Amino acid sequence: MKKYFFRIKRFDPEKDSSPQWKEFTVEMEPTERALDGLIKIKETIDGSLTFRKSCAHGICGSCAMKINGKNGLVCQTIIKDMPDTITLEPLQAFPVIKDLVVDMDPFFSKNELVLPYLINNEPPPERERIQSPEDQGKILQSITCVMCGSCTSSCPSYWTDKKYLGPSALLKAYRFIFDTRDRATDERLKRIITHHGLWRCHSIYNCVEVCPKEIDITSHISKLKRMAVRKL
């Protein structure tokens, strides 16, 4: 066991006029995750510490926050890969509800705008709509998005334009536009080729830097841009 220091940016809207840094010391095995440290703090030191988590295995996307200056999932952050002091802040660019919990509504509302579901009104085949391995390969990376918000929250274009769809919603649009079973490409393009859409991406690559699923988001958005130019 080794001592680790957690520096956590805290904010309680009912008590605080501005965020405050609080420090906690916890003993942890190096193989534990930063999430385990947060749970220890909550269970043994300060039960009022507020954060989101569910699956604890990098699947639900709910534990995203800024970890030592870079967005990511605390449940995927192994303590032995970190310095002795671990600094945690809420995702930037989204309104803070309390401590490490942010309001994700602005993020999920962008997702809704791009129609995040398969659209195909043709009569369904007897068993299922078949997709070849090659066709599935085109969308394989985009399917692994866990909707954590790390990318959109780290995007400078989003910081300056909160109406911008953001990298995650554009990746979702890609996921269905390049799905060979989908039949709504024109409608989808119409929804992303807007003042606050596709062309707001300036290929800054912050999204790629932080994505916990290592999705090359920018290259997916570039493919959307090429398709949009061909269709215009």
- 78 near ligand FES, rule: CB under 6 A: no
Nearer to ligand FES, 73 or 184 (CB): 73
**Alpha-carbon span 151 to 3, nearest angstrom:** 31
Which residues, at least 6 apart from 13, have a Cβ–Cβ distance to it below 8 Å?
A: 96, 97, 98
Indicate the residue among 90 and 212 with the shorter CB distance to ligand SF4: 212
**Contacts (Cβ under 8 Å, ≥6 apart) of 196:** 161, 163, 164, 165
Among 41, 145, 170, 177, binds ligand SF4 (CB under 6 A): 145
- Rule CB under 6 A: say whether 73 interacts with ligand FES: yes
Task: State the nearest-atom distance from the C-beta of 76 to ligand FES, in Å.
Answer: 7
Query: Residue 87 pairs with which residues in a beta bridge?
Result: 7
Cβ atoms of residues 191 and 113 within 8 Å: yes
With beta carbons less than 8 A apart as the criterion, state whether 189 and 112 touch: no
Q: Which x/- pattern over 148-187 shows residues binding ligand SF4 (rule: CB under 6 A)?
A: xxxx----------------x--x----------------
Stretch that binds ligand SF4, among 80-88, 91-99, 139-147, 187-195 (CB under 6 A): 139-147
CB of 163 to ligand SF4, least distance (A): 18
Query: Min. distance of Cβ 56 from ligand FES in angstroms?
Result: 5
Nearest distance from C-beta of residue 44 to ligand SF4, angstroms:
30
Residue 94 CB, nearest approach to ligand SF4 (Å)? 12
Distances in whole angstroms, Cα of residue 167 to Cα of each of 7, 146, 201, 210, 216: 29, 13, 8, 12, 11
Q: Is 45 in the site for ligand FES (CB under 6 A)?
A: no
Count CB neighbours of 34 within 10 A. Answer: 26
Half-sphere exposure of 190 (CA within 13 A, CB side): 5
With CB under 6 A as the rule, give the number of residues binding ligand FES: 12
Q: Between 72 and 197, name the residue whose CB sits nearer to ligand FES.
A: 72
* Interaction between residue 86 and ligand SF4 (CB under 6 A): no
Q: How far apart are CA 23 and CA 126, in angstroms?
A: 60
Minimum CB distance to ligand FES, residue 35 (Å):
6
Cα–Cα distance between 160 and 223 in angstroms, integer? 24
3-state helix, strand, coil in the chain (%, to 5): 40, 15, 45
Q: Which does 170 bind (CB under 5 to 8 A by kind): ligand FES, ligand SF4, none?
A: none
**Integer Cα distance of 189 and 192 in angstroms:** 5
- Contact residues for ligand SF4 (CB under 6 A)? 61, 145-151, 168, 171, 210-213, 215, 217
